[in-house]
Amino acid sequence: MSKFDYLIVGAGLYGATFAHLAYKQGKKCLVIDRRSHLGGNIYCESIEGINVHKYGAHIFHTSNKQVWNFVNSIVEFNRYTNSPVANYQGKLYNLPFSMNTFYQVWGVTTPAAAIAKLEEQKAEAVAKMKADGATEPRNLEEQAQLLIGKDIYEILIKGYTEKQWGRKCTELPAFIIKRLPVRLIFDNNYFNDKYQGIPVGGYNKLIDGLLEGVETKVGVDFFDNRDYWESIADKILFTGKIDEFYDYKFGMLEYRTVSFKQEIHDCPNYQGNAVVNYTEREVPYTRVIEHKHFEMFGTAVNECPITVISKEYSTEWEPGMESYYPVNDERNNALAEQYRTLAIQEKNVIFGGRLAEYRYYDMHIIIEKLLTNRFE
């Protein structure tokens, strides 16, 4: 007889939320993770009293009130508002593209003047394409200039994107940038969602709350003793890499990955903002994260005499590295579909999350999907 109703492979947000909801419905669950900690990529490491987002900045945002109420029922969220800025050759620009950005780039002060400048630059991009004999954008550079014009593309998109993807924008497909947000208001709030914030006390509080009452084991690799783990539960929720589950039967899926260089500075405030993007190609990192700003506001920032920053580097993924972002090109999409076809035939295995579905998910989408699960 099986000991558990569910074995949950992976203690990230998907696995922890699944375990929480199943446990609330009387299911006995065991959560295992190959890492030495719970929480997956939202895990926070406490350094000098600051919750450091070990695997990159995570900001929770949603317009779904049910989702917002659910996460706040686990832990209270603060009022953090994501308002990144971009540094290009020492000058700062507000993100997303808003009236603040247009004023910083062109000196325009009204929406009408901003629209006129945007339309002028878009027309130049169209004319250049026609002169080259093209009727549709042939690469990311042309697509971006059709959407936002040459000036903003050169300052805020080109270098940053080339660092993210490790290749020139003229070598990237146009579909990567399908649209770019343009706001004709002086508003630096990055998200349009109604609710956003960070768990008070960090994301570990959210994970601990979700897994309260659930048995967990860390430092355990499902694949080291697969037969045993498959024997102890009626069903498995698998949140790891789908190609690994099938022993790379059709080939290995690819990812983009990021790495972080962490620094502790003997000052209360390093850059005055949680996230600063570095958009010129010559700066090797894509952004600098100053973690205290996610949870400390106003005078509280200066009350903590030190600060922790992380410089984020985008690199080509190789086997053995952390797998962050699925590569949505023709080869990988076709390969992922082959694995998904196998997955839907499984009777006792559920595949869920970014790695198991080979799809990138914002956190609120994961919660939203799982709140409709019936746990049969």
CATH number at residue 345: 3.40.50.720
Spatial distance between the Cα atoms of 137 and 155, rounded to a whole number of angstroms: 20
List, in order, residues 6 or more apart from 237 with CB less than 8 Å away: 6, 7, 8, 9, 10, 15, 18, 349, 350, 352
In a domain? residue 92: no
Spatial distance between the Cα atoms of 19 and 206, rounded to a whole number of angstroms: 13
Residues 140 and 244 in one domain: no
In a domain? residue 261: no
Residues 239 and 347 in one domain: yes
> Which one of the listed residues 6, 88, 287, 290 is annotated catalytic?
287
Residues 241 and 339 in one domain: yes
Spatial distance between the Cα atoms of 30 and 6, rounded to a whole number of angstroms: 6
Residue 188 has a pLDDT of 94
DSSP label at residue 156: I
256 is catalytic: yes
Boundary residue ending a domain (144, 176, 208): 176
Could you tell me the residue range of the domain that residue 156 belongs to? 99-176
Per the rule left: phi > 0, alpha: psi between -120 and 50, beta: everything else, 118 is: alpha
Residues 49 and 159 in one domain: no
Residue 374 has a pLDDT of 61
Residues 21 and 131 in one domain: no
In a domain? residue 153: yes
Determine if the peptide bond prior to 111 is cis (ω within 30°).
no
List, in order, residues 6 or more apart from 76 with CB less than 8 Å away: 199, 200
Boundary residue ending a domain (176, 209, 229): 176
362 is catalytic: yes
> Which one of the listed residues 136, 179, 224, 282 is annotated catalytic?
179
> Which one of the listed residues 312, 339, 357, 358 is annotated catalytic?
312
> Which one of the listed residues 183, 203, 254, 358 is annotated catalytic?
183
Residues 112 and 168 in one domain: yes
Boundary residue ending a domain (124, 142, 176): 176
- Average pLDDT, consecutive stretches of 10 residues, N- to C-terminus, the chain (376 residues): 90 98 96 98 96 97 98 98 97 96 98 98 95 93 96 97 92 87 94 97 98 98 97 97 97 94 97 98 97 96 96 91 87 96 96 95 96 72
In a domain? residue 263: no
Neighbours of 331 (CB within 10 A): 11
Query: Strand 325-326's sheet: what is its strand order?
Result: 91-94, 85-88, 275-278, 287-290, 307-316, 255-265, 325-326
Instruction: Find the angle CA(163)-CA(168)-CA(173) to the nearest 5 degrees.
Output: 105
Please tell me the total count of domains within the chain: 2
In a domain? residue 53: yes
CB-side neighbour CA atoms (13 Å) of 350: 22
Residues 131 and 71 in one domain: no
Residues 110 and 171 in one domain: yes
In a domain? residue 39: yes
244 is catalytic: no
The token pair at 290 is 């100053």
> Which one of the listed residues 34, 35, 138, 256 is annotated catalytic?
256
Residues 23 and 57 in one domain: yes
Spatial distance between the Cα atoms of 62 and 229, rounded to a whole number of angstroms: 35
Residues 115 and 165 in one domain: yes
In a domain? residue 352: yes
In a domain? residue 143: yes
Single out the residue of 223, 222, 221, 250 nearest to residue 343, CA to CA: 250
339 is catalytic: no
- Sign of CA pseudo-dihedral 35, 36, 42, 47: negative
Residues 247 and 354 in one domain: yes
Residues 239 and 333 in one domain: yes
Neighbours of 328 (CB within 10 A): 14
183 is catalytic: yes
